[in-house]
C-alpha cells in the first residue's frame, strides 16, 4: 500500500510541474488506481445531499485541486494569446454562406458573390466606424469612404509603429474649443442614436459606387490536351467573335455567337504540334506557330491555308500582328518580321535576347513599336522605323541580311521570364509587364522616356497581362504563388493599382488569356484542360449612349 501511494503521489507532482491539464492528470490517476475515486462524488463544499452520501477520499481532493489549477494560474500574470486569431474574421465583415444543414430542400440558384472591391469598402467602413467609437479623441479626417485596396502579400517595409508626443496646451484648448457645449443642440448628450455624431456623419457620407463583378464563370468549355506550358500562347479571340484554341496538333475555332466548333488544322500527319496563335487586328486571318519553327497563315472564313512560312530553327512560341506585318518570336532567340502581302520568304530580324522569346506585343497607338519578353528576364522595346528600308516600291523587299541588334529600350529589372506584356490603349507609350515565379511583380514603363512608372508585388507568378478596352484597368493571370491563393485572375485599376476583383476556379496555372472584341468578356485557359468565360469588365460608354439613343428613338416612333 505504501508503494502504491508513493507512485500515485509522484505521478500527481510530475503532472503539476509540467503544467498538464488537471482533467488529464485526474484521468491518469483513476486509470492507475480505480478504487481511489468513487463513481459519483459530490464536491466538498456542496450543501445538497445525494442518496449515496459518501465522504470524499484523499485522492478526490487532489483531483479537484489539480483540475482547478491550470497552466495560466501558475504564472504571475495572464497574457492572452492572439496568434491563433484571424484578424479578418475578427474585424472584417465575413460574407454569409448557406448552411448545409438547412431544412429547405429546394433547388437554389447560385448567385455570384460581390466583388472584392465591395467587400473591402464594407470592411473599410466598419473599421472607420469602430475607430470612431473606440477612439473619439482621434481625428477621423483620414478615414474616407473610398474602398481600400486589397493588395497581395508584399515584402514588409520599415515604418514607425509607436510614436510618443506630449499634447500642448494650445492643442487641448483648440480641441475643447471645437467641441460643442451643453447649450448646443448637437451635443452627444441629447442624441437619441447609440452612435456618436462623427460615426453618423461617417455612415451618411456618400460612397463611391463600386462595380458589381460576377465571381463565377458563366461558361466552361472542355479543352482536352491543352498544354500546361508557360512559354506557349494557345488562345486568342478575333475581331469577328471567333475564339481560336490550339490543342496538341489541332486548331479549333469556337463561335461565340452560334457556339459551333470547327477544326481548322490538324498537323498529326506532319508530326508537329501547335505552339502559338494570333488573329489579325481586323479580319479573319489567323497565324499559327508550330513546334518545328513554321508559321502557317489561314483564312478562317473559307478554312483555307494562305501560305506557310519557314525561317525559324526552333518552335515559334509567340506571335503578334500590326496591320499586314506579322512578328514571330522563337526559341532560337530571334524575332522575325514579315509582310504577309508578299509571296517570298523575306523577313526582317530583331536579335538581342539570349534565350527563348516567349512574349510579343505590338502597340495599338504606336503600330511601329514592338515589345518583346524573353526567358533571359529581359524586356525590350523595338522600333520598326530603325530598320525600315527606303524603296520606291509600295511593298518593300526585305531579307535576312537586314537585322537590328540595338533595341529602343532595354529593361533588366525583372528576375524571371517575361511573358506577360500589354500596351495601354488609353495612353501613349505606357507598357505593362509581368515576371515569372522568381519575380512575381507587375511593372509599368514609359517608353517615351525609358523610365519605370510603378511596380507591384503580386505574390504569385504572372502568366498573362492585358489591358481593358472599355476602362483603364489591367487584367492579369497567375500561377505558382508564395501564399495559399494560387491560379487567380486579378483586375487592377490603373494607375493606382488598386485591386478591383479577383477570380478563382482553375486548379492549374492560368497560362492563357484572351478578351472578346466588345471588351466585356475574358476567357482563361489552364492546364486543367478547361476554358472559363468571365463577364468581368464594364460596358463601353459609347455603346451605353447608343443604346439610350435607340431607346429614345424607339419611344418617339
**Residues 6 or more apart whose Cβ sits within 8 Å of residue 250:** 263, 264, 265, 266, 267, 268, 274
**Does residue 253 sit in helix, strand or coil?**
strand
Decide if 93 is inside a domain.
Answer: no
Radius of gyration, CA atoms only, the chain: 34
* DSSP E strands, 91-248: 219-222, 235-237, 242-247
- C-alpha to C-alpha distance for 72 and 114, rounded to whole angstroms: 43
More confident residue, 147 or 477: 477
**Residues 6 or more apart whose Cβ sits within 8 Å of residue 327:** 319, 320, 321, 335, 336, 337, 360, 362, 370
Decide if 361 is inside a domain.
Answer: yes
Decide if 370 is inside a domain.
Answer: yes
- C-alpha to C-alpha distance for 337 and 339, rounded to whole angstroms: 7
* CATH assignment of the domain containing 483: 2.130.10.10
Highest mean pLDDT among 205-219, 249-263, 337-351, 383-397: 249-263
What total of structural domains would you count in the chain?
Answer: 2
Query: Grid coordinates standing for 494?
Result: 490603373
pLDDT at 2: 54
DSSP state letter for 374: E
pLDDT at 203: 85
Strand pairing report for 403-404 and 348-351: parallel
> H or E stretch including 89?
helix 87-91
Contact 225, 234 (CB under 8 A): no
More confident residue, 21 or 446: 446
Domain that holds residue 25: 2-40+56-68
- Comparing 20-34, 117-131, 351-365, 473-487, which segment has the lowest mean pLDDT? 20-34
| Dihedral (Cα; 182, 188, 191, 193), 10-degree rounding | -170
Judge if the upstream peptide bond of residue 281 is cis by omega within 30 degrees of 0: no
Decide if 36 is inside a domain.
Answer: yes
pTM: 0.67
Phi, psi torsion values for 397, nearest 5 degrees: -100, 125
Phi, psi torsion values for 190, nearest 5 degrees: -100, 5
Report the alpha-carbon angle 150-154-159, nearest 5. 100
Tens digits of residue pLDDT in 185-205: 777 777 788 888 888 888 888
Tens digits of residue pLDDT in 42-87: 444 444 444 444 444 444 444 434 344 444 444 445 444 544 444 4
Decide if 510 is inside a domain.
Answer: yes
CB atoms within 10 A of CB 475: 24
Contact 528, 543 (CB under 8 A): no
Decide if 515 is inside a domain.
Answer: yes
Tens digits of residue pLDDT in 251-303: 999 999 999 999 999 999 999 999 999 999 999 999 999 999 999 999 999 99
Phi, psi torsion values for 269, nearest 5 degrees: -70, -30
Query: Grid coordinates standing for 485?
Result: 491563393
Tens digits of residue pLDDT in 223-247: 999 999 999 999 999 999 999 999 9
Tens digits of residue pLDDT in 365-388: 999 999 999 999 999 999 988 765
- The burial class, CB within 10 Å (0-12 / 13-18 / 19+), for 549 is exposed
- C-alpha to C-alpha distance for 511 and 525, rounded to whole angstroms: 6
Tens digits of residue pLDDT in 163-182: 666 655 444 554 555 566 77
- Comparing 52-61, 112-121, 252-261, 520-529, which segment has the lowest mean pLDDT? 52-61
Decide if 89 is inside a domain.
Answer: no
Q: How confident is the model at residue 442 (pLDDT cuts 50, 70, 90)?
A: very high
Decide if 404 is inside a domain.
Answer: yes
- C-alpha to C-alpha distance for 345 and 293, rounded to whole angstroms: 14
**Does residue 170 sit in helix, strand or coil?**
helix
Q: Where do the H-state alpha helices sit in 101-225? A: 116-134, 169-178, 197-204
When the pLDDT of each residue in the chain is averaged and rounded to a whole number, the result is: 76
- Comparing 91-105, 273-287, 405-419, 434-448, which segment has the lowest mean pLDDT? 91-105
Amino acid at each position: 500500500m505504501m508503494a502504491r501511494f508513493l507512485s500515485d503521489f509522484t505521478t500527481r507532482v510530475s503532472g503539476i510541474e509540467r503544467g498538464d491539464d488537471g482533467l488529464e492528470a485526474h484521468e491518469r490517476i483513476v486509470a492507475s488506481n480505480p478504487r481511489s475515486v468513487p463513481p459519483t462524488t459530490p464536491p466538498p463544499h456542496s450543501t445538497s445531499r445525494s442518496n449515496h452520501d459518501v465522504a470524499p477520499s484523499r485522492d478526490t481532493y487532489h483531483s479537484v485541486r489539480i483540475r482547478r489549477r491550470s497552466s495560466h494560474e501558475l504564472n504571475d500574470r495572464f497574457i492572452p494569446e492572439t496568434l491563433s486569431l484571424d484578424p479578418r474574421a475578427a474585424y472584417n465583415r465575413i460574407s454569409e454562406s448557406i448552411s448545409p444543414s438547412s431544412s429547405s430542400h429546394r433547388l437554389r440558384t447560385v448567385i455570384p458573390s460581390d466583388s472584392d472591391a465591395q467587400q473591402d469598402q464594407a470592411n473599410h467602413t466598419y473599421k472607420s466606424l469602430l475607430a470612431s467609437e473606440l477612439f473619439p479623441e482621434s481625428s477621423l479626417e483620414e478615414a474616407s469612404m473610398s474602398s481600400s485596396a486589397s493588395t497581395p502579400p508584399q515584402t514588409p517595409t520599415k515604418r514607425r509603429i509607436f510614436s510618443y508626443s506630449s499634447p500642448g496646451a494650445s492643442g487641448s484648448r483648440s480641441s475643447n474649443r471645437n467641441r460643442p457645449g451643453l447649450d448646443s443642440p448637437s451635443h452627444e448628450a441629447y442624441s437619441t442614436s447609440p452612435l456618436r455624431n462623427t460615426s453618423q456623419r461617417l455612415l451618411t457620407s456618400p460612397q463611391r459606387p463600386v462595380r458589381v463583378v460576377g465571381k463565377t464563370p458563366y461558361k466552361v468549355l472542355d479543352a482536352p490536351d491543352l498544354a500546361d506550358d508557360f512559354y506557349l500562347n494557345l488562345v486568342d479571340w478575333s475581331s469577328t467573335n471567333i475564339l481560336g484554341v490550339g490543342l496538341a496538333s489541332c486548331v479549333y475555332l469556337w463561335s461565340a455567337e452560334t457556339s459551333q466548333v470547327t477544326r481548322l488544322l490538324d498537323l498529326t500527319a506532319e508530326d508537329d504540334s501547335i505552339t502559338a496563335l494570333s488573329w489579325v487586328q481586323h479580319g479573319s486571318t489567323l497565324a499559327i506557330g508550330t513546334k518545328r519553327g513554321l508559321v502557317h497563315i489561314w483564312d478562317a472564313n473559307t478554312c483555307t491555308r494562305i501560305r506557310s512560312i519557314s525561317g525559324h530553327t526552333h518552335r515559334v512560341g509567340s506571335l503578334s500582328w500590326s496591320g499586314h506585318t506579322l512578328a514571330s518570336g522563337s526559341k532560337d532567340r530571334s524575332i522575325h518580321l514579315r509582310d504577309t502581302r508578299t509571296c517570298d520568304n523575306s523577313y526582317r530580324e530583331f536579335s538581342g535576347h539570349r534565350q527563348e522569346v516567349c512574349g510579343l506585343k505590338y502597340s495599338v497607338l504606336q503600330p511601329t513599336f514592338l515589345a518583346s519578353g524573353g526567358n533571359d528576364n529581359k524586356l525590350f522595346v523595338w522600333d520598326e522605323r530603325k530598320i525600315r528600308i527606303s524603296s520606291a516600291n509600295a511593298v518593300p523587299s526585305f531579307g535576312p541580311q537586314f537585322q537590328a541588334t540595338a533595341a529602343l529600350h532595354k529593361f533588366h529589372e525583372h528576375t524571371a521570364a517575361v511573358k506577360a506584356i500589354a500596351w495601354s490603349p488609353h495612353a501613349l507609350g505606357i507598357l505593362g509587364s509581368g515576371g515569372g515565379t522568381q519575380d512575381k511583380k507587375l511593372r509599368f514603363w514609359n517608353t517615351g522616356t525609358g523610365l519605370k512608372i510603378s511596380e507591384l508585388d503580386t505574390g504569385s507568378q504572372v502568366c498573362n497581362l492585358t489591358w481593358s478596352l472599355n476602362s483603364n484597368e489591367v487584367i492579369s493571370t497567375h500561377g505558382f504563388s508564395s501564399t495559399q491563393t494560387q491560379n487567380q485572375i486579378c483586375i487592377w485599376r490603373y494607375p493606382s493599382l488598386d485591386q478591383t476583383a479577383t477570380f478563382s476556379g482553375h486548379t492549374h496555372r492560368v497560362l492563357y488569356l484572351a478578351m472578346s472584341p466588345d471588351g466585356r468578356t475574358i476567357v482563361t485557359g489552364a492546364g486543367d484542360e478547361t476554358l472559363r468565360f468571365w463577364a468581368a469588365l464594364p460596358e463601353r460608354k459609347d455603346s451605353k449612349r447608343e443604346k439610350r439613343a435607340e431607346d429614345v428613338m424607339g419611344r418617339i416612333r
